[in-house]
Structures are given as C-alpha cells and as structure tokens.
Amino acid sequence: MKRAGIKDVAKEAGVSVSTVSYVLNRTPTETISPETSRRVLEAAKRLNYVPNLNARSLSSRRSNLIGVLIPQTEPGRELVFSNPFYGDLLSSIEYTARQRGYHLLLSGTQEDQSYLSIARNRGVDGIIIIGTYPGENLNELKQMDIPVVLVDSYVKDEYFHTIGIEDKEGAKLATRYLIEKGHRRIAFISGSIRENGVNMKRWQGYCEAMTEAGLPVEEDAIYSGTVDYEYGAIAAHEFVERGRRQSAAFVTADIITMGVIKGLMEQGLRVPRDLSVVSFDDVNLSQMAYPAFTTVHQDIAEKGRQAVLLALDAASRKERRHTECILPLSIVERDSVMEWRE
C-alpha cells in the first residue's frame, strides 16, 4: 500500500497543502476554523497519514532528536543496563523530551570514541552527556553550533551547560549522619576514584567529615572498584577478610550498596546488625531492598527533566549563555543504620 502524503490528506479534506501543514503542526500564528481542523484531522486518520520526519527536518533544519551520550568510563561495563541510576535518569529524560515533541538518540561511547562524529552523523538538535571528564572529545564539540548539557560532570568550561549536585557536600552529609549515630570507624566503599570525577568529590567529602570530627581516615577502611552490584559483594567479602574493623560504611552508589548487603548475607552477616550503611542516589530500588537502606537523596527525575529543558532552551536562543543548575540533597532515613555504642 502506498504511503499517504500531505497532498493526499489535502485532497481528501478539500483544503490546501499549507492548511494541512498548519493544522498538523499546530502553527500558532495561523487561525484555522474548528471545522477545517476537524476535516483535516479526520482525513489524516482515514488515510493513516504519518508525518515524514526526514522531510520535516530538511525544511525546518531541525531533527527533533536529542542525543544522550553515556561515556564508558569503566572498560567492559554495561553501565546503562546494570545500574538503576541510569534507568531512572533516562526514563525522565525520555518522558520530558517526548512531551515536547522530541525523541532520543541513546549511545554509549568508548573513551577514545569521538563525540563529534556521533553528533554530526545523526544531526541531533542538542546533546546531553552523562558523567564525562575533561578531554579532546568535549573540546571538539565546540565545532558544532548545537547546545551541549553535561550531567554530573566537573568540567569547567562555560561553553557547556551543566546540571548536577554538590557531591562533596552529599558525602559529608552521609558521613556526618553516621558519626552522629555514634560510629567512629567508618568504611568508604566506592567506584574508581578519578580526578575531576563524582567519586573523587565524594571521597573528599568523606575525608573532610572524618577530619572535622577528629577521626582518622584509615587505609584499611577504603574500598575502591567499579560502580556495580558485583563489586559491592566483593567489597563485603574483603571487609570480612580485613577483620571487620569498621562498624559502618558510606557507600557512594545504591547499586554498590545492594551488592554489599548481598555479600554480607552470604557470610552470615546482616545490615545494620553487623554493619550500618548509608548509601547515595536514592534510586527507586533502594526502598525495595531488604533492608531498605538509608541514602542521600538526589532528585534523579528532576535532574533528567532539567537536562532536557536546558538543551531545548539553549537551542531556541540565538545568543550563547552558560547555564548551571545545582539540585539539593537530603538524607532519607530507612533501616540500614543503627546507633553505635562503644
């Protein structure tokens, strides 16, 4: 069956092609009578008319696509699918974009893969990059006249729009919470700690909170690996092998915490009886775990929503103006911490 075009809809409805275009695109500057709009919409429905997005892109010079790039910062990890943080964030990004007539082009990238080639080949109207580091991949994007929004990145360059949280302050909030509950020996369990990265900021916050409380940062209290469930279980086994010297732990991501809980259970230990835990992120699954764990809440859905709005707002403006958005943090108390008495 031949695909119906805009001319077919115009003929079926007895109106001009331009009128069909005005009705289907809801052009606000044109006044079309309700009766005419009804005829056009009914004709389009009868003919199963589907807009030709490629033709629309050529005429408007817009693709109605937002590129979402997730750099592969840990070799071999399927971060998009294994970490619920990304699921929560991408769900919000997709919904916000769809509500505004946009679709997503989602891509993971290797560290040596060109962001520019992905953006140029797909003709996106804006790019959202999640968790990247400074480097040539970012600098080359300046060759394109499209907005770039960095999520959870400590890149200092006013060419890019940014949205994130105060990771160091969030880590201090978590560590202080444990100290206030009487804990003095507190482990730090994290993904890899890289310069200008989220985990580095959370490490700094942990150290500052310990130092301000007059507590030592002990070498055997530090665990650093990958941001995934499997590493959490490995860290729990290492905790036992090292002699269980800490009464509590600050864990920098909920997905790691889930693994820690499982790893302790495998060895007959329980949270919080044998180790109190404060986590970070407050993904949807954090309250479904057993025990549901206390965590630093960040509004992941709002982070995704604001990322899309920043990209679309920047795309609609002629002048370039750097925008930075910092979202608040708070502690959500659940069942993973108990008060400690020496």
pLDDT tens profile 28-64: 555 788 898 899 999 988 888 876 554 554 444 567 8
pLDDT value at residue 32: 81
pLDDT at residue 120 greater than cutoff 50: yes
From the list 27, 10, 333, 14, the residue with the least C-alpha distance to 180 is 333
Question: What confidence category does residue 168 fall into, taking pLDDT thresholds of 50, 70 and 90?
Answer: very high
CATH architecture of 167-298: 3-Layer(aba) Sandwich (3.40)
Residues 6+ apart with CB under 8 A from 259: 228, 229, 230, 231, 232, 233, 234, 235, 236
**pLDDT (tens digit per residue) in 235-245:** 999 999 999 99
* CATH number attached to the domain at 65-165+300-328: 3.40.50.2300
pLDDT value at residue 158: 87
Question: Is the CB of residue 295 less than 8 Å from the CB of residue 282?
Answer: yes
pLDDT value at residue 220: 94
CATH 1.10.260.40 residue window(s) in the chain: 6-51
pLDDT at residue 113 greater than cutoff 90: no
**pLDDT (tens digit per residue) in 264-290:** 999 999 999 999 999 999 998 888 889
CATH 3.40.50.2300 residue window(s) in the chain: 65-165+300-328, 167-298
pTM: 0.80
What is the strand order of the sheet 324-327 is part of? 103-109, 65-71, 126-130, 148-151, 161-165, 324-327
* CATH number attached to the domain at 6-51: 1.10.260.40
